[in-house]
């Protein structure tokens, strides 16, 4: 008898789960994703700053699994989850039944009820988000290049909220972009955070390194200040400052995707679904939640962080436990192989703390660690490794690389570098 597994979400977690199940003769997997493609979030800021094309970070799920008859992919939005059945209902009203559900719907931005933020700030969680940021950046740069006085109105003031990896990487890349293409016009990139520390999850030395590297790129830091309002043409800070700007990028926090609330399952910190060490939900042995949508307890930690390697490993582990059930073996508690944490502050400036002992690295060695971890995540999506490493090395090592041609309004597309083999089937 075959077991039907329904996986919701084609991110790191869902893809890793479906990949592992693909080799099982007695499992039929349905992988549902509202976009029909896997998006590689770690490189979204490169799309937002016109370094990569959207196609470079999008991987078609049907092509990814076309060699596996046992995995069926479907582009569909899941609007409700019935953990008892178990089944999911799609936006077109149809129901997909399974014997096992794997919820892997990822995260969404958390604006923490900041006035105007949901409407005017641009988050960076999807390829669509990244394309919106890029379009706005290029529009503003082009307008100010044609009419420099627009800078007085904030056209060249870019504000990034959140001094975690997403905000730091985005601020660093934006500063490099404006430095490359706007040599004679003053542009300002500001990084705002309620906390006082840049890259708080990292060591003290890394905080200092990140601050130095950002300042070297001209990024202005506004730390220890909450954002009180975001509007179409300004941002207001709790210290009473108002900054004229037409671009606010939100890297200020995340919470579980709406899928978590739609499941009716117990939600903990960040609205994420609380799971047991074997990744199932208490009282629902046939329902797993993995990746950013879940709080995965680990040792003394209440939950593992929202990272690509956690998601990919948890998705794979859920599949192993599904297989263990079929084979009559016991399920096992999730064991995470900690790859560490890393961030790319800009060209020739990376920081990494590798492995569970957090071996600290900066500069070229940190970049090598970043390359290794991201190459392994990309490999799961079927990306062309040589294209990726060539692009990444060039990106990291070239001192100055984009030209003022980007300011030409007819030059809308960044040429794809071809990271995705799946693009051509």
Query: Exactly one of 7, 32, 122, 351 binds ligand FAD (CB under 6 A); which one?
Result: 32
Tokens of 209: 């390194």
User: CB of 403: closest distance to ligand FAD in angstroms?
Assistant: 26
Report d(CA 164, CA 168) in Å as an integer: 6
Contact status: 259 vs ligand FAD (CB under 6 A): yes
Report d(CA 350, CA 235) in Å as an integer: 29
Report the b/e string of 71-84 with b at 16+ CB within 10 A. Answer: bebbebebeebebe
User: CB of 312: closest distance to ligand FAD in angstroms?
Assistant: 7
Report d(CA 102, CA 13) in Å as an integer: 9
Kindly indicate which of the ranges 101-109, 134-142, 145-153, 194-202 contains the residues binding ligand FAD, using the contact rule CB under 6 A. Answer: 101-109
Query: Exactly one of 29, 31, 33, 322 binds ligand FAD (CB under 6 A); which one?
Result: 33
Contact status: 104 vs ligand FAD (CB under 6 A): yes
Residues 151-170 that bind ligand FAD (CB under 6 A): 165-166
Residue 287 region by backbone torsions, left for phi larger than 0, else alpha for psi between -120 and 50, else beta: beta
Contact status: 44 vs ligand FAD (CB under 6 A): yes
Contact status: 124 vs ligand FAD (CB under 6 A): yes
Tokens of 140: 């503003």
Say whether 336 sits in a helix, a strand or coil.
Answer: coil
Q: HEC states along 201-226?
A: CCCHHHHHHHHHHHHHCCEEEEECCC
353 is catalytic: no
Report d(CA 310, CA 333) in Å as an integer: 14
Strands 157-161 and 188-193: parallel
Report d(CA 387, CA 52) in Å as an integer: 12
User: CB of 404: closest distance to ligand FAD in angstroms?
Assistant: 27
Residues 284-313 that bind ligand FAD (CB under 6 A): 291-293, 306-309, 311
Query: Exactly one of 3, 9, 60, 246 binds ligand FAD (CB under 6 A); which one?
Result: 9
Report how many residues bind ligand FAD under the rule CB under 6 A.
36
In degrees, rounded to 5, the angle at the alpha carbon of residue 227 between the alpha carbons of residues 222 and 233 is: 95
Contact status: 41 vs ligand FAD (CB under 6 A): yes
Query: Exactly one of 111, 120, 125, 396 binds ligand FAD (CB under 6 A); which one?
Result: 125
Query: Exactly one of 52, 174, 257, 279 binds ligand FAD (CB under 6 A); which one?
Result: 257
Residues 326-365 that bind ligand FAD (CB under 6 A): none
Q: Which of 55, 169, 176, 254 is catalytic?
A: 169
Q: Enumerate the active-site residues.
A: 169
Binding residues (CB under 6 A) for ligand FAD: these are 8-14, 32-35, 39, 41-42, 44-45, 77-78, 104-107, 124-125, 165-166, 257, 259, 291-293, 306-309, 311
């Amino acid at each position: 008898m075959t077991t039907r597994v329904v996986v919701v979400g084609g991110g790191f977690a869902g893809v890793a789960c479906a990949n592992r199940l693909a080799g099982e003769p007695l499992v039929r997997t349905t992988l549902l994703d509202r976009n029909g493609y896997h998006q590689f979030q770690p490189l979204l800021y490169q799309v937002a700053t016109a370094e990569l094309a959207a196609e470079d970070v999008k991987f078609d799920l049907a092509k990814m699994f076309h060699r596996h008859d046992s995995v069926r992919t479907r582009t569909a939005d899941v609007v409700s989850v019935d953990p008892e059945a178990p089944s999911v209902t799609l936006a077109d009203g149809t129901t997909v039944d399974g014997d096992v559900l794997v919820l892997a719907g990822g995260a969404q931005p958390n604006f923490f009820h900041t006035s105007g933020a949901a409407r005017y700030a641009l988050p960076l969680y999807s390829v669509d988000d990244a394309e919106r940021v890029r379009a706005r950046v290029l529009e503003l740069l082009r307008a100010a290049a044609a009419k420099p006085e627009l800078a007085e109105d904030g056209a060249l003031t870019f504000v990034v909220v959140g001094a975690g990896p997403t905000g730091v990487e985005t601020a660093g890349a934006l500063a490099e972009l404006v430095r490359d293409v706007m040599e004679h016009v003053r542009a300002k990139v500001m990084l705002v955070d309620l906390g006082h520390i840049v890259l708080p999850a990292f060591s003290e030395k890394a905080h200092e390194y990140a601050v130095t590297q950002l300042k070297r790129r001209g990024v202005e830091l506004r730390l220890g200040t909450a954002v009180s309002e975001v509007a179409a043409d300004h941002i207001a800070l709790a210290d009473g400052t108002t900054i004229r700007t037409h671009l606010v990028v939100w890297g200020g926090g995340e919470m579980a995707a709406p899928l978590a609330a739609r499941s009716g399952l117990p939600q903990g910190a960040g609205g994420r679904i609380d799971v047991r060490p074997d990744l199932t939900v208490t009282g629902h042995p046939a329902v797993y939640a993995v990746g950013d949508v879940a709080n995965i307890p680990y040792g003394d930690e209440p939950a593992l962080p929202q990272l690509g390697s956690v998601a990919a490993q948890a998705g794979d582990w859920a599949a192993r436990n599904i297989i263990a059930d079929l084979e009559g073996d016991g399920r096992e508690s999730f064991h995470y192989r900690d790859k560490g944490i890393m961030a790319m502050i800009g060209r020739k400036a990376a920081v990494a703390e590798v492995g569970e002992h957090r071996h600290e690295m900066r500069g070229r060695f940190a970049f090598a660690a970043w390359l290794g971890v991201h190459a392994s995540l990309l490999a799961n999506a079927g990306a062309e490794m040589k294209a990726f490493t060539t692009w990444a090395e060039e990106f990291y090592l070239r001192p100055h690389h984009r030209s003022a041609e980007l300011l030409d309004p007819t030059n809308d597309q960044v040429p794809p570098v071809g990271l995705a083999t799946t693009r051509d089937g």
